[in-house]
């Protein structure tokens, strides 16, 4: 068997597979299928200071090669997450990454300060897709200077590593990744969903209640792979690949391009056992090549 251990900054993971935010609830959604302690880490759905209702339905729409979602960051809020969900994650001995977001920079700071004091949380993942109410509703993640500023503020108030999840929808992910690095990020996650829409021609209406949503799944994999490859060459901090990974071979592509780990999302909505199957396929492939350590594979793309 290949040794699938990997290191993301100061965080050691037993394997490179991470459950992506938004597709595994608070981690407890998959406890009947496999133990969270068997995978590298789990990223919770986005947590805000107060509970959030999210967008109007319909919130999900299948496409020919992926999934559109417009959940609207619905969540139970910080207090209930800490009291009701975090204890369950501790019981499973999961490596927990908490995705956080806010409508003001101060909310990110408060969340990072409070969550980093909780036992059983190994890192924070900044979701910068929330509108900045002070700048006319523009997303925090669209402006490199804002990315740098929020990352720096969160780092100053967090006792645990800080990852920054970025999108390629509206800006150059490499430029944003450099900004996150300048702000002190411990790692960047490339990439979030792409802004998209679908139309119901019978009803002559958008398929989603909020009109636009985030596209995930196999359709975005080539975009994500290119963004990861370019980002790895541009920054010194670790890059975590995310976008359309549904098999062991997919995951190995991102690692070969230089990602230190990968996040899997839409695939687990289709098949709850996908994480275990992906890990097995990775192990079988690497073992078949005689590769004993993941370090012999990561970043070894011949380009």
Using one digit for the tens of pLDDT, what is the confidence trace for 125-180?
999 977 665 665 568 888 999 999 999 999 999 999 999 999 877 778 999 999 99
Residue 207 located in a structural domain: no
Is position 114 within any domain?
Answer: yes
Q: Which residues are tagged catalytic?
A: 130
Which structural domain, as residue segments, surrounds residue 269?
6-54+73-195+216-296
Q: Per the domain annotation, does 274 fall within a domain?
A: yes
pTM for the model: 0.96
* Residue 211 counted as domain residue: no
In a domain, 60, yes or no: no
> Where residue 120 sits, what CATH number does that domain have?
3.20.20.70
What value does the mean pLDDT take over residues 81-99? Answer: 95
The Cα 153–Cα 274 span in angstroms is 36
Q: How many domains does the chain have?
A: 1
Residue 242 has pLDDT above 60, yes or no: yes
Q: Measure Cα distances from 273 to 27, 29, 30, 268 in Å.
A: 14, 12, 9, 7
Show the CA angle centred on residue 104, arms to residues 60 and 240, nearest 5°: 60
Looking at residue 137, what is its pLDDT? Answer: 55
Question: How many C-beta atoms lie closer than 10 Å to residue 119's C-beta?
Answer: 7
For residue 38, being part of any structural domain is answered with: yes
């Amino acid at each position: 068997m290949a040794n699938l251990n990997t290191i993301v900054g100061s965080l050691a993971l037993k394997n490179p597979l991470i459950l992506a935010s938004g597709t595994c609830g608070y981690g407890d959604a998959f406890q009947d299928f496999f133990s969270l302690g068997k995978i590298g880490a789990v990223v919770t759905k986005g947590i805000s200071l107060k509970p959030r209702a999210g967008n109007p339905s319909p919130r999900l729409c299948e496409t020919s090669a992926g999934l559109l979602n417009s959940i609207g960051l619905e969540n139970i809020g910080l207090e209930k997450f800490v009291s009701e969900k975090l204890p369950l994650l501790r019981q499973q001995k999961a490596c927990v990454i908490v995705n956080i977001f806010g409508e003001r920079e101060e909310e990110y700071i408060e969340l990072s300060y409070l969550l980093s004091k909780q036992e059983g949380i190994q890192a924070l993942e900044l979701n910068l897709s929330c509108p900045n109410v002070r700048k006319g509703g523009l997303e925090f993640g669209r402006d490199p200077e804002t990315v740098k500023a929020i990352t720096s503020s969160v780092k100053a108030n967090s006792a645990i590593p800080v990852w920054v999840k970025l999108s390629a929808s509206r800006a150059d992910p490499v430029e944003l990744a450099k900004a996150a690095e300048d702000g002190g990020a411990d790692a960047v996650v490339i990439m979030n969903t792409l802004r998209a829409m679908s139309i119901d021609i019978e009803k002559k209406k958008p398929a989603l209640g909020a009109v636009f949503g985030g596209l995930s799944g196999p359709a975005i994999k080539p975009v994500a792979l290119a963004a990861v490859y370019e980002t790895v060459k541009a920054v010194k901090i670790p890059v975590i690949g995310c976008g359309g990974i549904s098999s062991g071979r997919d995951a190995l592509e991102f690692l070969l391009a230089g990602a230190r780990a990968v996040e899997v999302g839409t695939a687990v909505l289709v098949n709850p056992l996908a994480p275990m199957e992906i890990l097995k396929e990775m192990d079988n492939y690497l073992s078949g090549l005689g590769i004993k350590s993941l370090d012999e594979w990561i970043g070894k793309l011949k380009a």
